[in-house]
Amino acid sequence: MWLSDRPRIAGLAMSLLMASAVVACTGPTPVYGPQTVGTQPVALIYAKPNSRLEQVVYEDLALRLGKATTNAPTLSVNVTALSRDLASSALNPDLPTVQREEEVTAAIRLTDVNGKILFSGMRSATADFTANSQGLASDRAETDAAVRVAHSLADTIRLTLLGVLAK
């Protein structure tokens, strides 16, 4: 009797195997997969950078969004950096280190091929760093903080542009 059930068991096993293969092919797709929003090139023309921080922003945007040479919207980003103390050093003049903050602000302007302004706005970001009596180390810490903020700002600008261009 067991030999007569063998084809039926094999058929059942085969149908379960086929069903699991079909389900595996039609399952949910990952959120960050190749067909997500923002993975298609946006193709922008970037203005010439006037500083190292602008160059960092443009390079990040070109890497993530895409770059065009003609017949595309033009993006202009003017970046300024400002460093300030987070705490007053007058309270303790013997303190060897001072906590500082680097703020980078970007004025963004996106125009279409006809010169019509598609977006104009400001975005800013900050990063903390520590300065001390060693001038070279303090300068390097400030530069590093500014570059970190520029990378963060580029991501904020990218998300803003994707929102503007999706309309």
What is the pLDDT tens value at each position of the chain, 167 positions in all?
A: 555 677 777 777 777 767 666 555 555 555 455 554 445 567 899 999 999 999 999 999 999 998 998 899 999 999 999 999 887 655 666 667 888 999 999 999 999 999 999 999 999 999 999 888 888 988 999 999 999 999 999 999 999 999 998 87
DSSP class per residue in 2-44: HHHHHHHHHHHHHHHHHHHHHHHHTSPPPTTSTTSTT-S---B
Strands 97-111 and 117-132, by their bridges, are antiparallel
> 31 lies in a domain?
no
Report d(CA 26, CA 5) in Å as an integer. 32
Q: Is residue 148 part of a domain?
A: yes
Two structure tokens written together for 104: 């980078």
Residue 16 belongs to some domain of the structure: no
Q: Is residue 91 part of a domain?
A: yes
Q: What is the CATH number of the domain that holds 61?
A: 3.30.160.150
pLDDT for 52 equals 95
Partnered with residue 55 across adjacent β-strands are: none
**Helices (runs of H) and strands (runs of E) counted in the chain:** 3, 4
20 falls within a domain: no
Is residue 107 situated within a structural domain?
Answer: yes
Give the domain extent around 101. 41-165
Total number of domains constituting the chain = 1
Structure tokens at 83: 């460093």
| Predicted TM-score of the model (pTM) | 0.71
Give the Å distances, CA to CA, from 15 to 6, 19, 24: 14, 6, 14
The H or E element spanning position 51 is: none
